[in-house]
Structure 1
Amino acid sequence: MQKSIQKYFALFALPGLICFAIAFLIPMVMGVVLSFFKFSTVTDATFNGLENYRNIFIDKEFLSALWFTIRFTIVSVITINLGAFALAMLLTRDIKGTNLFRTVFFMPNLIGGIVLGWIWQVIINGILLRQGVTIVSDPKYGFWGLVVLMNWQNIGYMMVIYIAGIQNISHDLIEAAQIDGAGRWTMLRSVILPSIMPSITICSFLTLTNGFKLFDQNLALTAGAPGKQTEMLALNIFNTFYGRSGFEGVGQAKAVLFTILVAIIALSQLRLTRNKEVEA
């Protein structure tokens, strides 16, 4: 029976492969090719070699967006994972109502980015207006506003992953550590953290890639203001491609470079944390 099914593997896989090629592979290849052309539509493309890529590195707005995105991602990865892990530790104790709290903390992840950005813009501006300023009055307000928004949206989701990791820790291992006289911090450092390294790998990967790819929230919360000083990479690429006539090729080159950058960083993070898993 199994052999007869295996004969039709290619037939079963074909619809998925066709959809993958149409929705992802073909557009990706076309995007890479177009990054070497000057164009306004795909029918009037003119080859210009590496000119688009050279223009990227003399674009101060792109370099500013890159630095802003790096700073934002570092801060958000640390704060989200620390917050999610702390909540997971708290909600895996024998406390009444833990299921309710888990649901409440997870719910912000279900809200769309544009709606979330608008909600937090209203909240933050309501606080800042008492001081006579708004979220776009100073780049630091936009930066920390995005950090707060990202934490509020993602901590609950990462918390669920950490809870799953904590609940899978062997009770025998915990009891053995307690018998050996391990204190709270020793237990955390030597038992819990090494045991949940797969959860740390997943959460680090998700928060890292989500931070670099953030778009909807950035657009709704600050739209890059003031003076594009809170513009992140995804929004910068969007504004270049759709907002600057004659720069479509540069926008496409930025998108290709952005994809490579995110892939390198994400793969490096996966390799680092998986090595820690092996050591643990």
Structure 2
Amino acid sequence: MSTSTPTNKTVGQSDQRISAKRKIKRNKVLTYAAFVGPALLFFLVIQIIPFFMGIYYSFTSWNGVSSAVEWVGLDNYKRIFTNDQRFFDSFWFTTRFMFAAVIISNLIGFSLALLLNAALKTRNILRTVFFIPNVIGGLLLGFIWQFIFVRGFAAVGELTNIGFFQLPWLGDATTAFWGIVIVFAWQISGYMMVIYIAALQGVDTSLLEAAKIDGANAWQTLRRIIIPLILPAFTICFFLTIAMAFKIFDLNLSLTGGGPFNSTQSVAINIYQEAFTNNNYGVGSAKAIIFFVVVAIFTTVQVMITKNKEVEA
């Protein structure tokens, strides 16, 4: 009897410790669920479930209104690839726009970051000024710039006779294309600037001082030291601008509406018109799935290439 009592007490203490550990683990799980659960629920409801519903509707002939949903298999995709030249025209416009917008936006954003990373007294004010266009909604921004292109530039052109301001900015396919690029770059460059500034502030100043002592000029320092060290920022900015440029909708809609003669119609506007104007929700969903695959390929390839450059650097 005397030997069994300590054993029972030890077993009891061990059970209590196991129970306490389980309680702590359960509390951690509940804490994580309380923080992550609502976000995960909203993500499922707003993103994942509609995405899979879109995949399903892309194989149907649903008009978006009727309760009758007819399964048509791959007919929608066949129709797109064989009898929808406007969709591919909009894809060509969006791809050209993406390349131009990504290059210009990042050049401007990086240049502003280099400028405002210097010891300027007004740099905080200038950062705010350059970032403000990013907080303006695309629809409002489009209408503002539409007035500038149509009325403002025309008035300046009449006063100065400068050819640049006398161009039919939104009335010609070429100038309308560059007009959208200009407005997009003006809106998004401030956002890219903030990311580049954060990366530049993480560069070790001792490296820059050592390069200066060794006789490196400003261009050599930028090319050989600064850019390799902030390549992760380029990866992020390229990814964001590619995705934003591909998905352009509100700015394009309010600025040109896809005109003139659908020459500046983005893929997003084409999908919107197909689904909600023509009431071909099944075809519109199929176009959206194709669009998703193309954007995913572009962004994945871009991230892979820039990540490899980071490793090499």
Normalised-by-shorter TM-score class: over 0.9
Q: Distance in 2 between matches of 1:252 and 1:108?
A: 32
Please report the TM-score for the alignment, with normalisation by the length of structure 1: 0.94
* 1:165 to 2:199 alignment: yes
Aligned counterpart for 1:34 among listed residues 26, 33, 57:
57
- TM-score when normalising by structure 2: 0.84
| Range moving further from structure 2, 8-17 or 61-70 | 8-17
* AA aligned opposite 1:84: G
Amino acid at match of 1:16: A
Matches within 5 A, 1:1-280: 3-8=25-30, 11-12=33-34, 13-40=36-63, 41=65, 43-57=67-81, 58-126=83-151, 127-128=153-154, 134-245=168-279, 247-280=280-313
Q: 1:8 to 1:163 in 2, by over 3 A?
A: same
In the aligned structure 2, how far is the partner of 1:15 from the partner of 1:227? 45
User: How far apart are 1:248 and its partner, in Å?
Assistant: 2.0
SS at match of 1:191: helix
8 Å Cα contact 1:121-1:135 kept in structure 2: no
> Structure 1 residue 136: deviation in Å?
3.8
Q: Which amino acid aligns with 2:138?
A: G
Q: Aligned equivalents of 1:135 and 1:44: distance in 2? A: 45
Deviations 1:25-50 (A, max 9, x none): 11111110110010113621111111
Report how far residue 6 of structure 1 moved.
Answer: 2.5
Greater Rg over alpha carbons, structure:
2
Unaligned runs of 5+ in 1: none
Quote how far apart the aligned CAs of 1:4 are. 4.9
Q: Give the Cα–Cα distance (whole angstroms) in 2 for the partners of residues 157 and 55 of structure 1.
A: 39
Residue deviations 1:134-190 (CA, integer Å, cap 9, x gap)? 444211121011011001101111111111111110011111212221111110110
Distance 1:81 1:189 in 2: 16
Which residue is equivalent to 2:15? none
**Identical amino acids, percent of aligned pairs:** 43
Against the structure 1 CA distance between its residues 143 and 9, is the aligned structure 2 distance closer, same or farther, given a 3 Å change threshold?
A: same
Counterpart secondary structure, 1:37:
coil
**Aligned length, in residue pairs:** 279
Q: Structure 1 residues 47 and 103 mapped into 2: Cα distance closer, same or farther (>3 Å)?
A: same
What amino acid maps onto 1:266 in structure 2? T
Q: Residues 204-255 of structure 1: CA distance to partner in whole angstroms, max 9, x if unpaired?
A: 111110000000000000001111111001011001111214x221111001
Q: Offset at 1:74?
A: 0.3
Deviations 1:14-71 (A, max 9, x none): 3333222211111111110110010113621111111111121221111110000010
Distance 1:133 1:192, change over 3 A: closer
What is the aligned-residue RMSD (CA, Å)?
1.8
In terms of mean alpha carbon deviation, does 207-216 or 35-44 score higher?
35-44
Relative distance call for 1:128 and 1:61 in structure 2 (3 A) is farther
Amino acid at match of 1:113: G
SS at match of 2:254: helix
Single out whichever of 15-24 and 179-188 deviates more from structure 2: 15-24
Letter in 2 for 1:48: V
Which stretches in structure 2 are left out of the alignment for 5+ residues? 1-20, 158-164
